[in-house]
Amino acid sequence: MKTSALRSACFLAACLTATLAVSQQIAPATPLITHDPYFSIWSTTDKLTGSDTTHWTGAPQPLKGIALIDGKPYRFMGLHPETIPAMEQTAASILPTHTHYEFRQSGIILDLTFFTPAFTDDLDLLSRPITYLTWSAKSADAATHRVSILLDVDPVIAVNDRSEKVITSRNQTTLLNVLSVGSRDQRVLNRSGDMVRINWGYFHLAVPKDEDATTSIAPRAVEAFVITGKLPANDSIDMPEAADSTSPHLAAVLDFGSVSGQSVTRHLLVSYTEDFAVQFLQQNLRPYWQRNNLPVEDLLDTSEQQYSTLDTRGQKFDAELAADLKTVGGDHYASLAILAYQQTLAAHALAADANGDPMFFPKENSSNGCIGTVDVIYPAAPFFLFFQPKLLEAELVPVLEYSALARWRFPFAPHDLGQYPLANGQVYGGGEKTEEDQMPVEESGNMLILVDALARAEGNASLAQRYWPQLTKWAEYLQAHGLDPENQLTTDDFAGHVSHNANLSIKAIDALAAYADLAHLLKQEVVAKQYDATARTMAKKWQTMDVEGDHYKLAFNSPGTWSQKYNLIWDQLLDYNLFPRSVRESEFKYYLTRMNRFGLPLDSRADYTKLDWSLWTATLTTNPEQFNAIMDPIDRWIHETPTRVPLSDWYDTKTGKQVGFQARSVVGGVYIKALSDKQLTEKWHRAAAQHN
C-alpha cells in the first residue's frame, strides 16, 4: 500500500507536536510492540540500533532491520550484525499508540513507525494482538535511490528460552502472506511465573499481498539479503529445531523500488495468538478477541482491511490525548503519562468468561508474578477510571467472584488470584491457609474505595449491590481494625511491616466513607449515616493521633518520622471531605523540604520512592507550581536514570537507579492528575460511551 508524502509529513508533524522531540534519551526504554505480559517487546537504548530488542524481562527477542540503499546495507533496528553500519537516527518520539523513528542515510530519509491500536473505548480492538510496522522512504538529495528493507524475526519470540524446539509454517489468507512460528510442544497454560515468556501459541509475520514483498523462513536471511539483496529461495520448515542462533528465522523483504522526493510507504503486521490466555478457577479463558471463536486468518485479514482507518484514528487519538494531558499537567506530566500508556495496558490480559463478558487480569510484573493483585489494581485504577471504567469493573469482578467462594474464609479481601496466568486462588502470604503476611486493611480498603469510585464513574452501584455481603464484611473489618492498624503489611510491602501506619489508617477511613456512599446509592440510608459518622469520627481522631509539629508522622507511635500520605487523594477526588484542607496543605509544604534530585522519597526510612504514589501526592495540591515541584524531578529522572528498563515505579531519588520493579501496570496511577480534572474525565467517558 502506498500513501502520499503529505500523509507521512503530517504524521511526523503530529508526533513532534504531541510529544517534545528529544535528540538524546527519550525514555528509560521505548515500547515497540506492547500487548500483554507475554507479547511485549522494547528497545533499551536511545538509538534503535544501540541494542537488540528484548522482552520486558530483558530476555532477548531480536527484531533485526536492514535497509539496502543503492546496494549498500545499513542497520536501522538491532545491534547485530555490528559489521553492518548503523543508519543515522535523527528523530524519535513516543505517543500513546505510535512509536516513531526517523533515519537518514546515503540520501534517503527512512521513517519507521510501530502502531498498536490500543483504544480503551473499543475492547475488540484493544484485545487484538496486532501491531503494524510502517516504513516510509523518500529522497533527501533530489537524486533517485534504489531502496529495499528487511525485517528479520528470531524464533525465540515464541518460546521461553532457546533450548525449546520450535516449528515454523507458511500460510496465506485472502489478503496476506503469513509466516508463523510456535513451540513444538504447545503445552497451553502449562506453568506460571514472573520473569518467563510464553511457550504456546504462535507468532505471525503477515505481509500484504499487494506490497512489493518477498518472504522466507531460513537460517541466514540477513546474510543472503546483504550479499544478494534477496532472501533464500527455499523455506526451511521440515523439522522442529531449537530456537538457537542457527534455527530458521522469519524474514520479509519490502521493495520500495526507485525512491525520489515522493514518499513510498510499505507496511506489514506482526501478531501473537493463543487459544487460551488465562485460567480462572480451573476454567481456561479465551482471549477477548476470540470469544466467538474468530479464526486467526479472519483476525489478520480484518486487521489488514482496517489498517488505514485505524492508523488515522490513532493519530487523532494521540494528538488529542497529548493536548489534554499537557493542559491538565504541563509538558513534563504529558510526557510521563504518554510513556505510561502502553505499559499500563500491556501488563494485563483481556479475556472473556463463558458468557463472553470481559475479564481483565493484571500481572504483577517483576515482583512475584501474581495475577489479579488487588494492590496492583488499586494504583493503576486512575488510568481506567479516566478512560474506560468498564475495564476496572472487569478487573474487580474476578476478585469479587473469588472472595464470594466458601474457600475464602477470611473477613478481609484477598491479595491476589494466583500466579499469572493461573488465577486459581491466592498464593501470597501463605495463600488461603494463614492470615500471616497478608494485607487485610490494605486490600479491604482498596476494594471498597475502588467499587465506590467505579459506581461514581458508571453512575450506578450495581456491582456493589451484587457483592454487598463481601463489601459489608470488609467494612466491618475496617471499622474494627482500620483506625490504628496492627503490625500489618501495606502495598509497599518491600518496606516491611509497620504498626500504627498513618497512611494505611487514612485508607481505612476513606474506605468506610466509600462504603457509606455505596449504601447511600443503594438507598440504605441508615447504614450510610452510620458509616459516614464513623469515618468522620475516625478522621478527627487521626489528626490528633498523628500530628507532629508542622507535619504528620509515618506511624502514630514513631516521632521524628514522615511519609507521603498519598491515600488522602480519594478524600479529595470522591468528595468525602473527611479531612480539612489544612492537613493536605501542611503535609505538602513539608514534602517540599524533603525533595531530592530525582524526586520525593516515599517516607523517612529510605531515599527510594514510588512513581505512582509520587503523582498521587503531587495531585493533592491544586497549585501548578507545587505540582511541578514534584513532577519536574521525576521528568529529570526519566531522562537521566542509568537503569534502562521499561518504566520502573521504584527507584532511588538521589542516584536515579532502579531499586526494583519494571514494566508494571501501576504506572497507570500517574493518570490520577488527569482524573482529578472532572470536565476532562467526563469528556473521555463520553467518548467511551459513544463507542460502547
Per residue in 35-59, pLDDT (tens digit) is 999 999 999 999 999 999 999 999 9
* The pLDDT of residue 413: 97
* The pLDDT of residue 493: 67
Q: What is the percent of the chain where pLDDT is above 90?
A: 88
pLDDT tens for 552-604 read 999 999 999 999 999 999 999 999 999 999 999 999 999 999 999 999 999 99
pLDDT tens for 423-440 read 999 999 888 888 778 999
On whether the CB atoms of residues 622 and 608 are closer than 8 A, the answer is no
Q: From CA 410, how far away is CA 521, in angstroms rounded?
A: 27
pLDDT tens for 451-480 read 999 999 999 999 999 999 999 999 999 999
Is the pLDDT at 7 greater than 50, yes or no?
A: no
pLDDT tens for 381-423 read 999 999 999 999 999 999 999 999 999 999 999 999 999 999 9
Q: From CA 276, how far away is CA 257, in angstroms rounded?
A: 42
Tell which residue, 331, 338, 410, has the closest CA to residue 374.
410
Confidence of residue 239 (pLDDT cuts 50, 70, 90): low
Burial of 395 per CB tally in 10 Å (0-12, 13-18, 19+): buried
Strand pairing class (241-242; 202-208): unpaired
pLDDT tens for 514-548 read 999 999 999 999 999 999 999 999 999 999 999 99
Instruction: Name beta bridge partners: 418.
Output: 371
Tell which residue, 98, 155, 559, has the closest CA to residue 317.
98
Q: From CA 268, how far away is CA 254, in angstroms rounded?
A: 9
Predicted structure pTM score: 0.95
**Mean pLDDT estimate for the chain:** 93
Is the pLDDT at 241 greater than 80, yes or no?
A: no
On whether the CB atoms of residues 132 and 269 are closer than 8 A, the answer is yes
Instruction: Name beta bridge partners: 111.
Output: 102, 136
User: 545-556 b/e with 16+ CB inside 10 Å = b?
Assistant: bbeeeebbbbbb
Q: From CA 249, how far away is CA 179, in angstroms rounded?
A: 10
pLDDT tens for 304-359 read 999 999 999 999 999 999 999 999 999 999 999 999 999 999 999 999 999 999 99
* The pLDDT of residue 157: 97
Distances in Å between the Cα of 500 and the Cα atoms of 460, 482, 605 are 35, 9, 15
Is the pLDDT at 254 greater than 80, yes or no?
A: yes
Q: From CA 630, how far away is CA 224, in angstroms rounded?
A: 53
Is the pLDDT at 18 greater than 60, yes or no?
A: no
Distances in Å between the Cα of 627 and the Cα atoms of 137, 172, 379, 634 are 42, 54, 19, 11
Q: From CA 351, how far away is CA 291, in angstroms rounded?
A: 8
Contacts of 103 (CB under 8 A, 6+ apart): 67, 76, 87, 88, 89, 90, 109, 110, 111, 112
Average pLDDT over residues 166-185: 96
Instruction: Name beta bridge partners: 610.
Output: 650
* The pLDDT of residue 242: 76
Q: In what order do the strands lie in the sheet with 54-55?
A: 30-34, 40-43, 54-55
Q: From CA 662, how far away is CA 366, in angstroms rounded?
A: 6
Average pLDDT over residues 630-649: 97
Contacts of 271 (CB under 8 A, 6+ apart): 129, 130, 131, 203, 204, 206, 296, 299, 300, 303
Average pLDDT over residues 19-28: 55
Confidence of residue 25 (pLDDT cuts 50, 70, 90): low
On whether the CB atoms of residues 417 and 426 are closer than 8 A, the answer is yes
> Which grid cell is 253?
523483504
Residue type, 641: T
Q: From CA 411, how far away is CA 435, in angstroms rounded?
A: 10
* The pLDDT of residue 320: 97
Tell which residue, 472, 475, 409, 400, has the closest CA to residue 438.
409
Average pLDDT over residues 492-496: 71
Q: From CA 362, how far away is CA 416, in angstroms rounded?
A: 10
Q: From CA 397, how far away is CA 407, in angstroms rounded?
A: 17
Residue type, 305: Q
Confidence of residue 689 (pLDDT cuts 50, 70, 90): confident
Strand pairing class (283-287; 418-419): unpaired
Average pLDDT over residues 199-217: 95
Q: From CA 663, how far away is CA 31, in angstroms rounded?
A: 10
* The pLDDT of residue 6: 39
Instruction: Name beta bridge partners: 153.
Output: 63, 250
pLDDT tens for 57-114 read 999 999 999 999 999 999 999 998 999 999 999 999 999 999 999 999 999 999 999 9
Instruction: Name beta bridge partners: 660.
Output: 650
Contacts of 379 (CB under 8 A, 6+ apart): 491, 612, 613, 616, 666, 668, 669
Q: Which residue has the higher pLDDT, 51 or 491?
A: 51
Instruction: Name beta bridge partners: 241.
Output: 166
**Residue carrying C-alpha cell 518460546:** 159
Q: From CA 194, how far away is CA 117, in angstroms rounded?
A: 26
Q: Is the dihedral of CA 686, 687, 691, 692 positive or negative?
A: negative
* The pLDDT of residue 20: 39
Burial of 236 per CB tally in 10 Å (0-12, 13-18, 19+): middle
Q: From CA 81, how far away is CA 414, in angstroms rounded?
A: 49
Within 10 angstroms of residue 580's Cβ, the number of other Cβ atoms is 12
Distances in Å between the Cα of 489 and the Cα atoms of 12, 84, 367, 485, 499 are 48, 53, 16, 10, 9
Average pLDDT over residues 262-275: 97
* 457-35-263 Cα angle (round to 5): 110
